[in-house]
Structure 1
Amino acid sequence: MSFRLILASASLLTLAACGAPEPAPAPPPEAAAPRPLLTAAQIEAGLPRPDLRPSTPPTEGAPTPAYAPDPGMVRLQILLDRSRFSPGVIDGLGGENTRQAIAAWRKANDLGEDGGADAALLQALAAADAGPVMAQYTLTAADIAGPFSPPPGDDLAETARAGTNFTSALERLAERFHVTEALLQGLNPGVDFRRAGQTLVVPAVDDTPLTGVARIVIDKTERSARAFDEAGTLLAFYPATIGSSERPAPSGTVTVVGVANEPDYTYDPERVSYDRGDERIVVPAGPNNPVGTVWIDLSRDTYGIHGSPDPSKIGKTASNGCVRLTNWDAEQLAAGVRPGVVVRFI
């Protein structure tokens, strides 16, 4: 027997003793991509459900209901926002701000104020604005760049020290596209908002500023602000937070004195009537400043129309006497006013 045959026989004996070699393990299956709450196609074709009602907070002790935005409501809110009849923040749930925007749009377009979010309304809105309501956006290095600040709290001095920048890239993008953070994440599951280069699905909003505002009407009961031109045509409707029972907004007529973009906020106990201590505090400019990104100064001392660090609370909480809008609505309105524009509180 040759040496080569002996080696071959030894190999066979070894294999027989040790067993056949194990096959290479199969690669693990790829994880399924997370599914969005809604797709762009669903929203583009959506009609609000007839039974859709404003969301209500759960009773104490009850489980929090799952977030379930309606595609037709998202579409409707985007179309209202682009028509300058603002629903406030776009959340896909509807609510009082959306209901009031619908009523104002219907009245302005001779459709009657009593109808709801039906197919006829959407057809009329879409006829006036036929563009897609959804778009794609690629995250940039500027979007994810800081500095970011912690969420503002009730302690003004601490807010002044910590800063009033956005808390994250997610908050910055949600505000840019007039949408809640929850809906933006729901449209883009699995996206890391801290990494540039990713493609997002976003509302196709329009930030074109107003022009030619001659008169503003602040309705304290309805909690709204309306902007009119010289001919009395309604240019825009915005939900608003307007004063409180302890610190009501003014009554009667005042005028616009000027506009300050990116204002700081000064608490001066010698000039304001609400109590936040005896120390004068200057909070630096930033989107989460107490007056947001813009201040429209009024001829009544310490009163103005301004933005907000929390768009989801517009029309749902109180203010210290001023008129508070979302930052994007306040910026749009501010671009169209000039000193002397009449502001009437009713």
Structure 2
Amino acid sequence: MKTSIIPLLLACAWAQAETDVPSVLRAQVLLDRHHFSVGEIDGLYGTNMRQALLGFQHAKGLPETGKADKSTLDALDDGQPALVTYTITDADIGGPFQPVPESMADKARLPSLGFSSVEEALGERFHASPGLLKKLNKGKDLHRAGEEILVPNIAGVEPLPKATTLVVSKSMHTLMLVDSNGQIIAQMPASTGSDHDPLPIGDWKVNGVARNPPFHYNPKLFWDAKPDETKATIPPGPNNPVGVVWIDLSKDHYGIHGTPEPGNIGRTQSHGCIRLTNWDAALVADAVTPGFAVVLKE
């Protein structure tokens, strides 16, 4: 039987391409697929990645180095490539895209708060920074339907096991989902308050989940609100101040939510609430129900 060599050549070419993926980028993608999120995949080693590695290593009983060492990469390896090709569609470039205004009053005048650019929309879809997508696809036109680009392979993820408790660590800037055996089954970076609006340490519960919610802005609740600002209802969308998900907590005015600025998660302060990337917030929303236990700790 005659066998074509072309598929073999393509497989070899892909294997070679996969060996060229930097270990940091490969680890970030694999961590994402194992539910130990670095937040925005950017190919850079920083605090969010270190915490994700430490969390994964702890969960798997590996030496807790905080580095993408061989034993950790071996444990992360699920046999799938870190990067895959994606063909840009008409829907991807169709938008509508529009700049997001700074003021709440101007935001409130818009019909929705969608993406500001194709790059932002693709970054959200593939959990990646727009900068990384541009770096991976030099010479490619991200605004052309039919263009094939390289993206992080975030598909084929195993379902998240059942969680029983949600834990937020102020000192680690992380949110963790824990099962009934006390095992961490998911972890993600979080912005967890500030000196003006500290994280309310203690035991709380989930009241409920709102998806793609409007945001009811009340300047009296924000220490940095401008004197002339008034109450406003901000329309839904990924660039809404609370992103695509609001998980209401039993502490008044506090919740867990998404963000319009995924690159800032774990690196900047919040107004007291627990802020995640939109995709991580959506994962948490799927894992919790009303009455779900929440522990906010130092």
TM-score relative to the length of structure 2: 0.89
Measured after TM superposition, the shift of residue 40 of structure 1 is: 6.9
1:259 aligns with 2:233: no
SS in 1 for 2:109: helix
Distance 1:93 1:331 in 2: 24
Instruction: Identify unmatched segments of 5+ residues in structure 2.
Output: 1-12
1:150 aligns with 2:99: yes
Distance 1:42 1:246 in 2: 51
1:45 aligns with 2:19: yes
Per-residue Cα deviation, 1:285-329 (whole angstroms, up to 9, x for no partner): 010111111111111111110111111100111110000001111
**2:79 maps to what in 1?**
130
SS in 2 for 1:241: coil
User: For structure 1, which segment, 283-292 or 158-167, has the greater mean C-alpha deviation from structure 2 after superposition?
Assistant: 158-167
Task: Tell me which amino acid in the other structure corresponds to 1:235.
Answer: I
Measured after TM superposition, the shift of residue 238 of structure 1 is: 0.5
The number of equivalent residue pairs is 281
Distance 1:227 1:198, change over 3 A: same
**1:322 maps to what in 2?**
273
Q: 1:80 aligns with which of 31, 49, 55?
A: 31
Cα pair 2:193 2:269 within 8 Å, conserved: yes
Q: 1:214 aligns with which of 164, 169, 178?
A: 164
Superposition map of 1:1-346 within 5 A:
44-45=18-19, 71-114=22-65, 116-126=67-77, 129-153=78-102, 155-162=103-110, 163-206=112-155, 210=160, 212-269=162-219, 272-276=221-225, 277=227, 278-346=229-297
Moved over 6 A (4+): none
Distance 1:317 1:152, change over 3 A: farther
User: For structure 1, which segment, 181-190 or 143-152, has the greater mean C-alpha deviation from structure 2 after superposition?
Assistant: 143-152
Pick the structure with greater CA Rg: 1
Distance 1:305 1:210 in 2: 19
Measured after TM superposition, the shift of residue 184 of structure 1 is: 0.4
Measured after TM superposition, the shift of residue 144 of structure 1 is: 1.0
Distance 1:300 1:343 in 2: 11
Distance 1:338 1:208 in 2: 20
SS in 2 for 1:221: coil
Distance 2:91 2:239 in 1: 18
Measured after TM superposition, the shift of residue 119 of structure 1 is: 1.8
Task: Tell me which amino acid in the other structure corresponds to 2:258.
Answer: G
Measured after TM superposition, the shift of residue 161 of structure 1 is: 2.4
Cα pair 1:132 1:204 within 8 Å, conserved: yes
**1:56 maps to what in 2?**
none
Measured after TM superposition, the shift of residue 208 of structure 1 is: 6.3
Tell me the percent identity: 46
Q: Which has the higher contact order (CA 8 A, sep 6+)?
A: 2
Measured after TM superposition, the shift of residue 211 of structure 1 is: 5.1
Cα pair 2:222 2:271 within 8 Å, conserved: no
Task: Tell me which amino acid in the other structure corresponds to 2:137.
Answer: N
